[in-house]
Copies of this chain bind each other. A is one copy, B any other.
Amino acid sequence: MPFAPDQHATTLLIRKLESIATLTDEERQALDSLPVRTHVLGARQDIVRDGDRPTHCCLVVEGWACRYKLLSQGKRQILSFHIAGDIPDLLSLHVPTMDHSLATVTSATVAFIPHESLHTLVARHPRLASLLWRDTLIDAAIFRAWMVGMGRRSAYERIGHLFCEMYVKLEAVGLAGDHCCPLPLTQVDLADALGLTPVHVNRVLQEMRRQALLELRSRKLVIQAWDELSAAAEFDPRYLQLGKRAA
């Protein structure tokens, strides 16, 4: 690997922001000198918990993370999945107390950036502030897409939609191609993300396999019939705002 881990984190962030807008040398420099601390975490570990008041934001460098909320009787709702380049708790910069938890899904490398340095950064570089603000707005757009799914789509369409979304997100950062991507989620995870039961997820997945729409084995997803799947799920990737970088 050409970079030391900490440098890798800032490089990743710079690349992410440059996929949206061209940065000045000064801005790139400011991002690069962000004091990040990189950690390697095991799978299924909490990073920040509901009720915490974090002092750092967390940049996913490698692996998957998710946000989730626990309810009474052990019910769990997963709110989002995050991959390399995402800053899932960027919101803690302006909303002090977490209203949900953040955890790893797989073992993962994450970089912690102090709020303090981010506040200084955005105060000095308003355009970077806008870019990060925009990032939280895209986050919200993904929430809306999930809401539409949970409110108005069948289990079948919801599962299809999530698979399309994750594939496109992974492809955009070079982690997927050929309609094939990692999908390190158990059927329980999928159920908790989609508002279904694991049993039902299982049955719908079988149906999709029977129709030769996709294969899903050992945490690897192959979408064999992209057009049919994305049509069935009414998947329109525009909400992800990948315009500039998508092929």
Residues on A close to B: CB < 8 A? 67, 69, 71-72, 75-77, 79, 91, 94-95, 97, 99-100, 122-123, 126, 129-130, 133-134, 136-141, 143-148, 150-153, 192-195, 234, 238-239, 241
Contact = CB atoms under 8 A, between A and B. Distances in A.
Given A126-B126, A143-B140, A147-B143, A133 B94 contact: yes
A123 B194 CA distance: 39
B148 A69 contact: yes
Q: Taking the full assembly, how many copies of this chain does it contain?
A: 2
B79 A147 contact: yes
A151 B146 CA distance: 10
A150 B192 CA distance: 11
Contact of A148 (B77, B130, B241): B77
Given A69-B148, A129-B133, A152-B195, A239 B140 contact: no
A79 B152 contact: no
